[in-house]
A and B are shown apart, each in its own frame.
Chain A
């Protein structure tokens, strides 16, 4: 006799529910996969064919022109290099600052905790505004240097709160045990607390890396030198056409040409700029399960 599958053993209502779940999840997956497939295919297509007929899997119609244009653009490679440097440095600086700030804030015996809390909270709700912030950066002498992009956003209150909450979830016994063995706060923090906090460090690091990778506005405002521009800013320059000078005759032509070029490069640049992130996620994924605390305290 054939063994009944697990599915067949469910009751009718359960089957219906399960089916509904599969359908909804399936639709959800499709909603994510279809745009991705579209972009991948569109990046191989001539913009005029794409506009007239939509995407096609007829490989004879495919072309590598867009990728050739992107890869032969030296500015994109400079931007790529800058984006990697900025994102890595920003990630490191930001995680260090956040983790260090969160530790005292997690301790109930820290004096002035309430005061600092208020100070931090204020920055979550109010900012200085664009021009005052710009003037501050300018007067600090940071204009046109990578620190103008990295320092202002390095400390994020939101991330600090997350790290603090995570610290508070670490069993008190750990600190007590370390105390018995004569560990100072510093030793405890670096040798014991941080290692058990790898999941939250990984999450914050990934967030900050992705955030910096995708950002262009600060770089646009504070950086002038083309050699210092990150990838997103370079892509923006390619995609957003030059403003034609008002009434300039030849610029009418140039606008038209540029619109075509932007159309051609649009999808290829999306792929190139998201590749590093796609590659990174699997490496970080293993930290996302929180089983790391297991075994640190013997009950």
Chain B
């Protein structure tokens, strides 16, 4: 690096540090787009494999450049290489750009880069030059709270995608369970509503395997129930939600739940979890569970599903596993109680804290922020999220229509034979954006695949959500993030291993007690205390 460049960069970094400390007083001038003089920034962005590699050739950015008179020199990185390259580029003063459009930084990345002075706090720019984002924050103050670090700064611009809200949010249930309606009808069975009925149905699937196989011409043996243990949405945790007090194990990653008096508990040390595991072991002994359920990978799981071999399976959407016609969601099963615990963090919908950052090399951070605020425009955000309209090539995600009041609205267009993913990836640009629940029907139509899932949640699950709270998406300090990841390393591993072991080999009181004491030895109480601290702070506001 040449010396002059270094000095200049250092000066910018220092200046940025000072403005941060003194408050921004020189921002009184309103920034209006299009600018009178073309401004040029540098930005880093990722793009999906096999799509246009020059972002400025994407319709969305072409239109933005016209509308704002801001030209962006992009460093575009293929998305599969993003993780490896972004940390190198952040360390390289020659490569770092004014802003990182699709950073996707974790909490610890954000805090580390902020500590090094590589990225700058943006909260004052949000208030002064980002009207669109401010409006979102004003309407949903929780997003502002979630974006603010323990030191009071906001270091990144978030991505927000709402589909449904609170107990109807699409994320409330990730690992939905589905039951093969075609088989049920063939055997003349009803959809089960209790764990005992459920067991009888599985037994019927097992005992009538030959008939089912012959009737539907299935290649390969019949599997009454399959899942992938400890694999996010493919985990069977939802089945045991009715046992004990009904906390279930909805947080498959952290195994925590929040009680109605706002206490954080470990779901895996509850009696309900213990009883539920015993019950699953019983099903396993009855030969009702796929032998490969503990070891298979996604590809194997889907291959068996696509051949129509499952009676019950678990996933985000059964269309990924088999098809939509033959399957229905399995309602909540009653055991001791009837309850469904929503996933932690789901009440605030889709949210990514570290989506976009402004770096210390930006010479005019206010202008950069003002440009980035355009992404939060209610007509712009859905396009960045899904894709755009009116392109010359084959298919578009949207067509421009009108809403009830005759105002322009983006309507999801029929895609014909085109794969929705490919069209979306060819058009959308990602980055910071906010798609709020109230936009649907006003600025944009709700996408079909999301809509039917939202309907499922509302129909099958929302009425049974009897708990008041989920653990919110909180922004912890550096020390707590580190402490927590150290504690979780052992605790999560122990719990996950126990789940597979118990379902396969069974569990008794002695084993359960030993399991609880080993978790305590790994610092379970310290872990809960950290979670509790942030929960208290969250609800204190």
Contacts and interface: CB of A to CB of B under 8 A. Distances in A.
A248 B161 contact: yes
B163 interface: yes
B298 interface: yes
Interface stretch (B19-27, B77-85, B365-373, B529-537): B77-85
Contact of B386 (A51, A135, A138, A250): A250
B506 interface: no
A245 B421 CA distance: 13
B244 to A, nearest CB: 30
Contacts of A47: 299, 303
A256 B297 CA distance: 12
A108 interface: no
A143 to B, nearest CB: 8
B300 interface: yes
B350 A221 contact: no
Given A139-B94, A243-B83, A257-B419, A51 B299 contact: yes
Nearest to A224: B77
A130 interface: yes
Contacts of B53: 225-226
B303 A52 contact: yes
Q: Which of A51, A135, A259 has the most CB of B within 10 A?
A: A51
Nearest to B79: A242
Nearest to A240: B80
Nearest to A249: B450
B490 interface: no
Interface string A125-161: 0000011001100110001000000000000000000
Contacts of A112: none
Q: Which of B49, B75, B92, B307 has the most CB of A within 10 A?
A: B49
A254 B430 CA distance: 15
Contacts of B233: 252
Interface in A238-280: 238, 240-243, 245-250, 252-254, 256-260, 262-263
B48 interface: yes
Interface residues on B, range: 35 or more
A63 interface: no
Nearest to A74: B50
A259 B302 contact: yes
A53 interface: yes
Interface in B340-382: 350-352
Nearest to A256: B320
Contacts of A236: 80
A221 B86 CA distance: 10
Contacts of A238: 49
A75 to B, nearest CB: 7
A52 B219 contact: yes
A52 B304 contact: yes
B306 A243 contact: no
Nearest to B160: A247
Contacts of A260: 299, 302
B266 interface: no
B304 A252 contact: no
Q: Which of B159, B299, B352, B449 has the most CB of A within 10 A?
A: B299
Contact of A135 (B75, B92, B303): B92
Contacts of A19: none
Nearest to A143: B95
A143 B304 CA distance: 45
A187 B138 CA distance: 82
Contacts of B77: 224
Interface in B149-177: 159, 161, 163, 170-171
A220 interface: yes
A224 B81 CA distance: 9
A237 B78 contact: yes
A258 B307 CA distance: 18
B400 interface: no
A249 B94 contact: no
A48 interface: yes
A252 B92 contact: no
B449 A259 contact: no
A138 B219 contact: no
A131 B419 CA distance: 39
A48 B83 contact: no
Interface in B233-290: 233
B79 A249 contact: no
Contacts of B424: 250, 254
Given A52-B303, A248-B350, A242 B49 contact: yes
Q: Which of B80, B82, B447 has the most CB of A within 10 A?
A: B80
A237 B161 contact: no
B298 to A, nearest CB: 5
B502 interface: no
B420 interface: yes
A253 B220 contact: no
Contacts of A52: 219-220, 303-304, 307, 309
Interface string A178-189: 000000000000
Given A48-B303, A257-B419, A250 B447 contact: yes
Contact of B306 (A48, A143, A221, A262): A48
Contacts of A224: 75-77, 85
A222 to B, nearest CB: 9
Contact of B161 (A131, A143, A247, A253): A247
Interface in B446-485: 447, 449-450
Interface string A195-237: 0000000000000000000000000110011100000000011
29 contacts: A47-B299, A51-B299, A51-B303, A52-B219, A52-B303, A52-B309, A130-B88, A131-B88, A134-B91, A138-B92, A220-B81, A221-B85, A226-B53, A238-B49, A241-B80, A243-B80, A243-B82, A245-B104, A245-B352, A246-B352, A247-B350, A248-B161, A249-B350, A249-B447, A250-B420, A250-B447, A252-B317, A253-B420, A256-B298
9 closest Cβ contacts across the A-B interface? Answer: A51-B303, A254-B421, A256-B320, A247-B350, A237-B49, A52-B220, A48-B303, A263-B299, A252-B316
